Structure 1
Amino acid sequence: MVLENKLGITESAELAREEERISKTKAIELFTDDLLQGKTIGTFETLAFIHHHLFSDIYEFAGKIRKENIAKGNFRFAPVMYLKSSLEHIDQMPHSTFDEIVEKYVEMNAAHPFREGNGRSARIWLDHMFKHSLSKVVDWNRVDKGDYLLAMERSPIKDIEIKHLLKQSLTDQVNSREVFMKGLDASYHYEGYTTYNSEDLM
């Protein structure tokens, strides 16, 4: 199923290509124009701003909380009925240490507040926290994509793997555009979401 989009694209591979091209162009703006300057660290409001900036040329739902229940494989992200309270809880979580930041990131991943584009937006949001709290960011060139996706899948139960992966990949190159952009690579994000009805939760 191809998501309804502003581009009028009806073929999934074409949409994926255009989505990556446009979102990366918008990410360069985000970085070059320092559009996150002054944005509150570690809040859903800031994550929604990032998501809207990346995807507003593609999707009407950019920056808006999803209205569908979504799953990846056997893992169901936060049900819509609990999503708002989950995001309020995440906003209150601390983010001053490495462990706190990753734990907050893991919780936001489990929430998956948007219909599409969660991973790319959240990695920018994660680095925004790292940059301001630790003066470091993740060098995504040093993060194996397969290991990352597996660690993120397991992170709601055990976050030791994702913490290990990210800790060994931290860099102080906080002003490197190349480092910033690597986290936007499509190969790091989940594919193949399915939707399900609220009744399925009963």
Structure 2
Amino acid sequence: MLDKYGVGQDPLCYPGSTVLRNRLGLTDAQTLHDAERTLSEIAASTIDFDLPPYDLPYLQQIHRILFDDVYEWAGELRTVDISKGGTHFCNVTRIEAEAAKLFRRMATANWFEGLARQQLISAVAEFYGDLNMVHPFREGNGRAQRILFDHIIINAGYEISWWEVAEHEWVQANIDAVVCDYRALTVIFQRCIGQAIG
């Protein structure tokens, strides 16, 4: 039985099920999805903004705060290779190295500080798509990564809001980025990144 990430019988799932083991004891996928979304939205409000440098442990801390009420493994790197649809995410043996490479490149770019809005949009669209391919966690990658990019964009001096993005549009944009086509992500960030802060 393959789960939505195509990993077969994942040890993190209940036996014979595609539902991830969780602290809530929920065995229905939709109920777990709804609870996970609600609890992570509440937890997100407790995450403080920090200045760079940012790195994989910083992203893991965000994930831990978001999902600790739901999963014992919140904040831990995944231990199985996963794919979604036709997209194969980073091999587990390469997660730390590939993430480090991307964070180093962002650090070298001075976390995009001082960029004009259009330059920032192009830069974060590319880095978002590339970091999404690393997909370091078994579940909850998008939510954790969006908060990380909230911090990156705010630190760069701009407002950010994700409210105007439909889920199907977001998913397709990330699929396009797999082959380094960042146009759809650029359109999304064009809409989501607001004016310069103060």
Q: Same fold (TM over 0.5)?
A: yes
- For residues 124-175 of structure 1, give each alpha carbon's deviation from its aligned partner in whole angstroms, at most 9, with x where no partner exists: 11111111013221x222223322221111112111221122113322497x
- For residues 16-35 of structure 1, give each alpha carbon's deviation from its aligned partner in whole angstroms, at most 9, with x where no partner exists: 121111111111222xxxx2
Tell me whether 1:70 sits opposite 2:82 in the alignment: yes
Task: Please give the alpha-carbon distance, in whole angstroms, between the structure 2 residues aligned to 1:52 and 1:64.
Answer: 8
Is the contact between residue 158 and residue 193 of structure 2 (CA under 8 Å) also seen in structure 1?
A: no
Tell me whether 1:107 sits opposite 2:119 in the alignment: no
Is the contact between residue 41 and residue 129 of structure 1 (CA under 8 Å) also seen in structure 2?
A: no
Match of 2:46 in 1: 29
- Offset of 1:108 from its aligned partner? 1.2
Match of 2:146 in 1: 123
Match of 1:46 in 2: 58
Task: Please give the alpha-carbon distance, in whole angstroms, between the structure 1 residues aligned to 2:165 and 2:69.
Answer: 29
- For residues 41-77 of structure 1, give each alpha carbon's deviation from its aligned partner in whole angstroms, at most 9, with x where no partner exists: 4421221111000001111111111001111011110
AA aligned to 1:5 is: N
Listed as ranges, the matches of 1:75-90 within 5 Å are: 75-90=87-102
Is the contact between residue 93 and residue 104 of structure 1 (CA under 8 Å) also seen in structure 2?
A: no
AA aligned to 2:151 is: H
Task: Please give the alpha-carbon distance, in whole angstroms, between the structure 1 residues aligned to 2:57 and 2:93.
Answer: 19
Task: Please give the alpha-carbon distance, in whole angstroms, between the structure 2 residues aligned to 1:74 and 1:43.
Answer: 28
Match of 1:152 in 2: 174
Name which structure has the greater RCO, CA cutoff 8 Å, separation 6+: 1
Task: Please give the alpha-carbon distance, in whole angstroms, between the structure 1 residues aligned to 2:124 and 2:53.
Answer: 11
- Offset of 1:36 from its aligned partner? 2.7
Is the contact between residue 40 and residue 66 of structure 2 (CA under 8 Å) also seen in structure 1?
A: yes
Q: TM-score, normalised by structure 2?
A: 0.78
Task: Please give the alpha-carbon distance, in whole angstroms, between the structure 2 residues aligned to 1:4 and 1:64.
Answer: 14
Tell me whether 1:20 sits opposite 2:37 in the alignment: yes
Task: Please give the alpha-carbon distance, in whole angstroms, between the structure 2 residues aligned to 1:91 and 1:169.
Answer: 22
In structure 2, runs of 5+ residues without a counterpart are: 1-17
Secondary structure at the aligned position of 1:91 is classed as: helix
Task: Please give the alpha-carbon distance, in whole angstroms, between the structure 2 residues aligned to 1:121 and 1:167.
Answer: 20
User: Could you tell which deviates more after superposition, 91-100 or 53-62?
Assistant: 91-100
In structure 1, runs of 5+ residues without a counterpart are: 175-202
Match of 1:8 in 2: 25
Is the contact between residue 23 and residue 72 of structure 2 (CA under 8 Å) also seen in structure 1?
A: yes
Match of 2:103 in 1: 91
Is the contact between residue 56 and residue 96 of structure 2 (CA under 8 Å) also seen in structure 1?
A: no
Task: Please give the alpha-carbon distance, in whole angstroms, between the structure 2 residues aligned to 1:146 and 1:12.
Answer: 19
Change (3 A) 1:100 1:117: same
Task: Please give the alpha-carbon distance, in whole angstroms, between the structure 1 residues aligned to 2:154 and 2:79.
Answer: 32
